[in-house]
Amino acid sequence: MSARSQPFHSIQPLQPLNSGQLNARVNNITPVKPLRNYKENQYDLKQSTDGGKLSSATASGVNAPIVSQPQQQKKKKEKLSTLCKTPPSIVRTRTGRDYRRGTFLGEGGFARCFQMKDSSGKIYAAKTVAKASIKNEKTKTKLLSEIKIHKSLKHANIVNFVDCFEDDVNVYILLEICPNQSLMELLKTRKRVSEPEVRFFMVQIVGAIKYLHSRRVLHRDLKLGNIFFDPQMNLKIGDFGLASVLPSGNDSRKYTICGTPNYIAPEVLGGKSVGHSFEVDIWAIGIMMYALLIGKPPFQAKDVQVIYERIKKTEYSFPIDKPISYEAKTLIQDLLSLNPLHRPTIDEILQYDWFKGPFPDKTLEVSLNLTPGGLDQISKAQSAINFTNTKASAGIYTPKTKNPVEILRSDLHSEQPKTLLPQSLSPGDTKDKYQEVEPIGSTGRQSKKINFNSTYSTTIKRLNQICFETYQNMRRLEYSKHEMLDTMELPSCENPTLISKWVDYSNKYGFSYQLNTDDIGVLFNDENTILKLHNSDKFLELIYHENEGWTCIENSLLHPPLQSKKQLEIVDFFAKYMNSNLSKVSDNEDRKETVFLRRYTRTSEFIMFEMTNGNFQFNFKDHHKICISKGGLAITHISPSRMIQTHPLIFILKQGNFPSIEVPECLEKIAIIKDAIKKKAFKE
Ligand code: ADP
């Protein structure tokens, strides 16, 4: 339970009041709640050793309200934890269990923590709250809420709740002991922490928060000082004093303004009207990651008001003298997005490239004092194994990609209700269909299985992997748009294969398209494709088979397999329709590669095509089309009058538009594209 968690204006009366509280009441403004962990607010000040008491200097400035009150932070403050007297040497519970009190472990703003030993000799931490500090119903409710929430949790990376009981003077919350202190002490000793170590920490933290969020619990006070090391040096999140359970429902939010200044998310500072949700914990992960890698939190300042101003403008930098990897910066920048919706979700975080770097199999005890050697030498293969194992231990289950067919019904449904795909798209149903595909060599029909990779140099990867890589590259270019062009590697810029016509008939058969090579394809509702090659008596079938993955079968039009006849008729039907009714998007090109459409998404603003060669084509409502190719490095514009130009994306980002023909709202369109690809990247 935290002193922070009480709105001051509602406490009548609570002793002792401090200057910050008085000011807040007098001015009738909503304060950020008083803070337990003074140490973290005055990061660089030394923690006192006098049983956890902090100097007046250490305590100053932490109770500052959001509205600037420059004079109010000067006076010495008392913490409610000082009301907590040392418990008797033996604490007897009402049910007759005896605990022997041991050494003092630490102090927050509200509680003091002592070692306690049970009769079998097992040692725990007892978070001890003085009853004298629980003066009203609201405070009591908050303490009970902390206990209730904490008691309901069980996760490898959350401090285990053991029991709670009381005597005449104190309430005791018995917890799993974390004898190696917290990340805050580690950072204080180490000054900075290496990237491999922080990667390991992050996975454990993400695992715990994923668990919390899955139970709709917001922690709301994640900070280095609340993340402890157990005896095996695993991280455990503790202190649920500000935790809250979010009621179910899409739009539910919390409105209490609370947190620790350095870690508070901007939307919390937005005031009570804005509300906040799970993203505040994601923000705090970003702050912790930055603090561990750089040595201090990103918005650190002596004056709390300055911290808030910086947070509201996300004003921070990566100091040149404390270099960290590009991948780490990318993740931090995303976590610290001003708009909560732009932050990665808890599931998305571990997909970032940064986690592909050297990854240890555990945290060594020596880490408490110095950087262990050899971490950067951990091989790629070993790192991947360690990463997987650490995720598993942190309860993060990575689903195997059994079904890479990714036309998501929800994509279509939400954007174009009429084209809701039939039930046959569900994996259970499609399984039988795929068995119709005959294995190579076992057939008398004139068909040939084609190895996709070698014959067509097309890689069928998981779609969201391609989206992720493309999104990452687009982001990276955005950050480097101020760098010199001649220091960058630029892609070759030939015009890509494009979809020049399309018909969405997915409420009956499927989605048909004509490429600018004049090849005509139909993406059938069962997710398989037939592509009729222009000027050829061949046609291709792109089929997904559960055991074999994607297969491309080349067939002769003269002797089509029986089961393809009906589908070929449909292709012809579409071909005729498109030829007589639709005009082309772009002029014809010779076929350089064989490309299929893998997925399409329609929104009110655009239709998005994802192709098997990794390209993305966006046809916007205003008849301008943009294609992203080369994994996000190249961009093509097709004007309404079919003029086509391809350039390195960085070039367009620098210029703000295409050189020969201006694209209306060019950068906005690129941002929409990046966002759409990002959304796909993070879809499970
Ligand atoms: P408060 O609610 O007052 O902020 P905390 O939960 O932060 O209290 O606990 C106060 C201090 O007690 C911590 O800073 C830490 O030093 C110590 N502590 C808390 N939980 C444990 C634990 N499980 N094992 C060891 N020490 C702990």
Which pair of structure tokens corresponds to residue 240? 């649920």
**Beta strands 625-629 and 616-620, pairing class:** antiparallel
| 645 and 501 in a common domain | yes
| 635 and 506 in a common domain | yes
**Range with the poorest average pLDDT among 35-44, 282-291, 406-415, 662-671:** 406-415
Q: How far is 530 from 264, CA to CA, in rounded Å?
A: 54
What is the dihedral angle through the alpha carbons of 146, 152, 154, 160, rounded to the nearest 10 degrees?
A: 40
Task: Give the per-residue pLDDT at 476.
Answer: 85
**Cβ of residue 107 lying under 6 Å from some atom of ligand 1:** yes
Q: How many domains, in total, are found in the chain?
A: 3
Q: How far is 515 from 513, CA to CA, in rounded Å?
A: 6
Residue 615: inside a domain, yes or no?
A: yes
| 614 and 673 in a common domain | yes
| 150 and 190 in a common domain | no
Which pair of structure tokens corresponds to residue 434? 């795929």
Angle at 332 between CA 648 and CA 683, to 5 degrees: 70
Confidence of residue 563 (pLDDT cuts 50, 70, 90): confident
Give 51 or 155, the one with higher predicted confidence: 155
CATH number at residue 121: 3.30.200.20
Task: Give the per-residue pLDDT at 585.
Answer: 65
| 126 and 56 in a common domain | yes
Which protein residue's CA is at the shortest distance from atom 6 of ligand 1? Answer: 239
Residue 86: inside a domain, yes or no?
A: yes
| 145 and 212 in a common domain | no
Structural domain that includes position 145: 18-176
- The CA R_g of the chain, rounded to the nearest whole Å, is 30
Q: What is the pLDDT of residues 303-323, one digit of tens each?
A: 999 999 999 999 999 999 999
Alpha helices in 128-262 (DSSP H): 137-151, 183-190, 195-214
CATH number at residue 310: 1.10.510.10
Question: Which residues, in sequence order, are CB contacts of 257 under 8 Å at separation 6+?
Answer: 30, 31, 32, 33, 66, 268, 269, 271, 272
Q: Which of these three, 396, 415, 430, is where a domain ends?
A: 396
| 35 and 57 in a common domain | yes
Residue 355: inside a domain, yes or no?
A: yes
Q: What is the pLDDT of residues 428-482, one digit of tens each?
A: 222 222 222 222 233 333 455 554 433 333 345 677 788 988 998 998 888 777 7
| 249 and 321 in a common domain | yes
User: What mean pLDDT value characterizes the chain?
Assistant: 77
**Cβ of residue 238 lying under 6 Å from some atom of ligand 1:** yes
Task: Give the per-residue pLDDT at 125.
Answer: 96
Task: Give the per-residue pLDDT at 339.
Answer: 87
Task: Give the per-residue pLDDT at 67.
Answer: 27
Task: Give the per-residue pLDDT at 616.
Answer: 96
Gap from CA of 109 to ligand 1 centroid (Å): 10
- Helix-strand-coil split of the chain, %, nearest 5: 35, 20, 45
Residues with catalytic roles: 221
| 495 and 587 in a common domain | yes
| 163 and 213 in a common domain | no
Q: How far is 146 from 1, CA to CA, in rounded Å?
A: 6
Q: Is the pLDDT of residue 657 over 80?
A: yes
If one residue of 107, 227, 233, 258 were mutated to test the ligand 1 pocket, choosing by the most ligand atoms within 8 A of its CB, it would be: 107
Q: Is the pLDDT of residue 198 over 90?
A: yes
Helix-helix angle 279-294:326-335, to 10 degrees: 150
- Residues 195-201 have a mean pLDDT of 98
CATH number at residue 589: 3.30.1120.30
Q: Is the pLDDT of residue 216 over 60?
A: yes
Residue 388: inside a domain, yes or no?
A: yes
| 330 and 241 in a common domain | yes
Confidence of residue 150 (pLDDT cuts 50, 70, 90): very high
Q: Is the pLDDT of residue 667 over 90?
A: yes
- Residues 600-620 have a mean pLDDT of 92
**Cβ of residue 241 lying under 6 Å from some atom of ligand 1:** yes
Q: What is the pLDDT of residues 494-534, one digit of tens each?
A: 899 999 888 888 877 888 899 988 899 999 888 888 999 88
Gap from CA of 167 to ligand 1 centroid (Å): 20
Q: Which of these three, 161, 176, 191, is where a domain ends?
A: 176
- Ligand-binding annotation for 678, yes or no, is no
Residue 535: inside a domain, yes or no?
A: no
Residue 677: inside a domain, yes or no?
A: yes
Residue 553: inside a domain, yes or no?
A: no
Confidence of residue 400 (pLDDT cuts 50, 70, 90): very low
Q: Which of these three, 156, 176, 196, is where a domain ends?
A: 176
If one residue of 54, 113, 220 were mutated to test the ligand 1 pocket, choosing by the most ligand atoms within 8 A of its CB, it would be: 113
Residue 424: inside a domain, yes or no?
A: no
pTM of model > 0.85: no
Question: Which residues, in sequence order, are CB contacts of 64 under 8 Å at separation 6+?
Answer: 20, 31, 32, 72, 73, 261, 304, 305
Gap from CA of 572 to ligand 1 centroid (Å): 72
**Cβ of residue 54 lying under 6 Å from some atom of ligand 1:** no
| 154 and 41 in a common domain | yes
Gap from CA of 91 to ligand 1 centroid (Å): 19
Task: Give the per-residue pLDDT at 179.
Answer: 92
If one residue of 139, 173, 228, 237 were mutated to test the ligand 1 pocket, choosing by the most ligand atoms within 8 A of its CB, it would be: 228
